[in-house]
Amino acid sequence: MLRNRLSDKQIMTSQQQVSAELEQLKQAVELAITEAKRLGADQSEVSISKQTGISIATRELEVETLEFNHDGALGIAVYNNGRKGSASTSDLSADAIRSTVKAAVDISGYTSQDPAAGIADKDLLATDIPDLSLFHPHSLEPEPLIEIAKQCESIALAEKGIKASDGASVNSHFGIKVYGNSHGFIHGYPSSRHSISCMLIAGEQEMQRDYAYTVARDFADLESVEWVAQQASEKTLSRIGSRKIPTCEVPVVYDRDVASGLLGHLVSAISGGSLYRRSSFLLDALGQPIFPDWFSIYEDPYLLKALSSTPFDSEGVAPKAQHVIEKGCLQTYLLTSYSARKLGLRSTGHAGGIHNWHISNSGISRADLLKQMGTGLLVTELMGQGVNVVTGDYSRGAAGYWVENGEIAFPVHEITVAGNLKDMFANVVAVADDAKPQSSIRCGSLLLESMKIAGS
């Protein structure tokens, strides 16, 4: 059990303070919207975010950085006959807000008309704001958090073979988000985020490094310090003796950490900005098969305590639980109000990003997935940005492990994995059941039928 949690009384006090501040921020948003209307704006939208927290980093059991932050900002966009003006301020006084609104209105007089510009359609706005248990404050006293970071390093450095620590960190933040627009929508909610991480170095002639982390809305839900240290140690030590492999074409397993990133390219390809600009390899793919017919992606914006849950998106639109991929076919694009209008469609509630994607799995462990692959490559790390979302061409530096007869044989590095995303998605063979619950894309380790590997 991680220490330094707030007492019940402290939690109640903190929640009361945040509730009072939330109301103050709503009043600031209302002031900005009222002022925009007074100055003649057809439409306006205002967002305020405030964040408080602490970030601690240690290295070799010494405090390297300790940073407190307490800041906030207001941003406003006004629309006059399709002309948009925007401005922002970190000064939330009434006079500063009025000056900022006037600046936005003045700017709108110089911009070009855009028929797609404007706030979200009123009938799409959230009318029910559920409590998704996103706010779990934690004490920001530095000493106990420093102790956690040092303890993590100390445990890891005691492992045989670990040469040095490249640092441990502990972060604890909470904030408030308020959004309002001239349709009369003004809502907000508080949230929190906490994490612990550790990076280690091992080896003599050829040093290797790796890391582990844990992140959660509630500090009590973080993995233990011992778990983080052990995971970091095991991963780092397993990299010792990495070698190159010959160029080949073999089956590839993407470990769960990089599998989520692979599906992140799907997010880019089906996002409205890529689609209306005609810069996606998945143009006109709605309703078409992209993955095998057993594969599905389900989005759940209302999952309690999840890092990507939200009662409304960045435009106040209510997101919905839905299949993004069902039986391999694309069911929805990811649209903001602007991109939707450019495409002649309606917002899907994705202003600000996606909301807790659940990837279907094959009901097998990662060990069984490796056995199913037989001989091939397990990728655990990717480097570089060699992905072309327009064509789907994919080429990235990689490291991981060579697998023979379903068992890890040795670590590999300095290789490149290449293919085309359209082919890679279509040729997913199986997905393990080891998805990380903290990720916004909850995907287990993923087996691809074949990829080109450029090696020595």
pLDDT at 3: 45
- Answer whether residue 134 is part of any domain: yes
Q: Range of 329's domain? A: 248-454
Name every residue whose Cβ is closer than 8 Å to that of residue 402 and which is 6 or more positions away in sequence: 245, 377, 378, 408, 409, 410, 411, 412
Domain co-membership, 219 together with 167: yes
- Residue 150 pLDDT more than 70? yes
Give the pLDDT score at 332: 98
Q: Are residues 433 and 349 in the same domain?
A: yes
225 and 255 part of one domain = no
Q: Which position has the token pair 């094959």?
A: 362
| Residue 120, in any domain of the structure | yes
52 pLDDT higher than 60: yes
Work out how many domains the chain is built from and give that number.
Answer: 2
Q: Give the full edge-to-edge strand order of the sheet including 329-330.
A: 329-330, 322-326, 297-299, 357-359, 441-442
CA 133 to chain centroid, in Å, comes to: 18
Give the CA count within 13 Å in the CB-facing half-sphere of 330. Answer: 20
440 plus 295 within the same structural domain: yes
Looking at the domain assignment, is residue 3 inside a domain? no
Whole-structure pTM value: 0.92
- Packing angle, helices 94-108 and 8-38, rounded to 10: 40
Same domain, yes or no, for 253 and 145? no
In this structure, are 259 and 203 located in the same domain? no
Same domain? 282 vs 336: yes
Percentage of the chain with pLDDT > 70?
Answer: 97
Quick one: pLDDT at residue 1? Answer: 38
Q: Is residue 242, in this structure, part of any structural domain at all? A: no
CB under 8 Å to 123, separation ≥6 — which residues? none
Whether 343 and 398 map to the same domain: the answer is: yes
Same domain, 219 and 337: no
2 within a domain of the structure (yes/no): no
Domain-terminating residue out of 237, 268, 293: 237
**Residue 259 and residue 200 share a domain:** no
Of 210, 237, 264, the position where a domain reaches its end is 237
Are 315 and 144 in contact by the 8 Å Cβ rule? The answer is: no
SS3 91: coil
401 falls in which pLDDT band (50, 70, 90)? Answer: very high
- Is the pLDDT at 330 greater than 70? The verdict is yes
Which pLDDT tens digit goes with each residue over 198-255? 999 998 878 899 999 999 999 999 999 999 999 999 999 999 999 999 999 999 999 9
Assign residue 224 the CATH number of its domain.
3.30.2290.10
Asked whether residue 213 falls in the same domain as residue 290, the answer is no
Are 207 and 254 in the same domain?
Answer: no
Q: CA-CA distance, 250 to 373, in Å (whole number)?
A: 9
Distances (CA, A) of 159 to 156, 229, 401: 6, 9, 22
pLDDT band of 11, cuts 50, 70, 90: low
Alpha-carbon gap, residue 28 to 74, rounded angstroms: 9
A 10 A CB-CB count for 340 gives 24
Environment class of 310 (CB within 10 Å of its CB; exposed 0-12, middle 13-18, buried 19+): buried
**Does the residue 243 lie in any domain?**
no
* 148 against 18, higher pLDDT: 148
Which of 195, 218, 237 terminates a domain? The answer is 237
Whether 46 is covered by a domain: the verdict is: yes
